Amino acid sequence: MSTLVQSEPSLQAGAAPGSARHLVDLAYRFREHGIVAVLALFVIATTAIQPRFLNSSNIKFTLLNATIFGFLALGQTVVIVSRNVDLSVGSILGLSAYLSSAYLADHPGTPIPLVFALGLAIGLVCGMVNGAVTALGRVPSLVVTIATLYIIRGVDTVIVGGREVVANSLPDSFLSLGTSTIAGIPVITIGSVVVIAAGAYFLRNFRSGRELYAIGSNPDAARLAGIAIGRRVFGAFAFSGAIAGLSGVMWAAYYGTIDSTAGTNYELQVVAACVVGGVAIFGGSGSAVGAAVGALLIATISQALYVLGISSFWEQAIYGLLLLVAISLDRAIALRLTSALRKRSYQQRAA
């Protein structure tokens, strides 16, 4: 992917910038729309084998799972487009889920918005630590977030110990967030869709969002253009952490029982959702909407395996396979586009 976007500036010098950009956007729009077609075919095939796959309870369960993964994928998308990755989101979710729900259990009259603010603050602090070490310390994000994945999970385990927060210790007003629906759609799903749409709009239309794409496309060119790379990367990790913190509160409201294992192994699913949804793992392209669709596919696959009676141990293998296929596809698209743009540039110069 980086090969494509790094070669764009030189190609556009002799070609119409709009036409080259249009070709790139068209290719990746097709890539994102393709995942919708795959999702539709998968649902049709599963329903043909097991008709009860599309009953109301399965649809609701799938949407709720997709909501949490899709929300996490929003924060992950902001990080990945800047050519970084945040592997600590599952641990941040687990820490936020326990601390926020435990506080609510110990203080039953706490307003629900304050609980969400607490979860956001926990995630924000964790994200700021990731951002500071990555941006200011110039340590590769892969190394940083693998370390904080274990550090935060270890802190969570020490705090929780052998305890857990159970559903009957939490108020009904909080637990209803995970069960209430409007026209059959979970309330938290509707709220998440609004936030994801706002995030997608920010990335595409605000300068700070577009600068993240520029950093992911070509960091050296972005630096020469005067973009504050360190500040933007720090902000991306802080945002991802805050989203993971909010996701922890949502997770607690949905599941009701929270211990030190909350959010374990969510990292692979979230990264897979982003990449499968069209977010280039090498940075510089992709959208929050595509990542959300990828999250819906991941959640649908998980529920389909359950309905079809297939062992859940196959989930990780399928996620890994999807990740491999998506990265290979992105690489193939990048090489084809690079060739097409160079050919177009040569033809226009010759004319």
**Both tokens of residue 100?**
């926020």
The residue among 145, 169, 135, 189 whose CA lies nearest residue 258 is 169
Instruction: Tell me the C-alpha distance between 309 and 317, whole Å.
Output: 16
Task: Output DSSP code: residue 2.
Answer: H
The count of domains in the chain is 1
Residue with tokens 């596809």: 329
At 28 the pLDDT is: 58
Cα–Cα distance list, 194 to 100, 182, 292, 295 (Å)? 23, 14, 12, 16
Q: 10 Å Cβ neighbour count for 205?
A: 9
Q: How far apart are CA 237 and CA 87, in angstroms?
A: 11
In the three-class reduction of DSSP (H, G, I as helix; E, B as strand; rest coil), residue 159 is classed as: helix
The verdict on residue 62 lying in a domain is no
State which residues form the domain around 218: 2-11+31-48+75-343
Q: Could you tell me where the beta strands, DSSP code E, fall in the chain?
A: 181-182, 185-186
State the DSSP code for 263.
T
Q: For residue 18, what pLDDT is reported?
A: 46
The answer as to whether 195 is a domain residue is yes
Q: Where are the beta strands (DSSP E) in 89-198?
A: 181-182, 185-186
The answer to whether residue 79 sits within a structural domain is yes
Cα–Cα distance, 102 to 98 (Å, whole number): 6
Structural domain includes residue 189 = yes
pLDDT along the chain (351 residues), means of 10: 37 41 58 78 89 86 91 96 95 96 92 96 97 93 96 94 89 88 86 93 91 91 92 96 96 92 90 89 86 91 86 77 78 68 67 63
Instruction: Assess contact for 103 and 110: CB atoms under 8 A.
Output: yes
Query: Tokens 């329903």 — which residue?
Result: 47
Domain presence at residue 252: yes
Alpha carbon distance 212, 126 (integer Å)? 20
Task: Using the CB atoms, write b or e for 155-192: b if 16+ within 10 Å.
Answer: bbbeebeeebbebeebeeebbebbeeeeeeebbbbeeb
Q: Are 140 and 151 in contact (CB under 8 A)?
A: no
- Residues sharing a CB contact under 8 Å with residue 78, sequence separation 6 or more, in sequence order: 199, 203, 212, 236, 239, 240, 288
Distances (CA, A) of 151 to 51, 67, 220, 257, 317: 44, 26, 32, 23, 26
Distance (Å, whole) CA 74 – CA 194: 12
Q: Is 16 within the bounds of a domain?
A: no
Torsion on CA atoms 168, 191, 315, 95, rounded to nearest 10: -50
Question: Contact 272/323 with Cβ under 8 angstroms?
Answer: yes
The answer to whether position 44 is within a domain reads yes
Element (H, E) at 336: helix 314-350
What are the angstrom distances between the C-alpha of 321 and each of 3, 14, 234? 24, 40, 31
What's the pTM? Answer: 0.85
Domain contains 183:
yes
Q: How far apart are CA 63 and CA 48, in angstroms?
A: 20
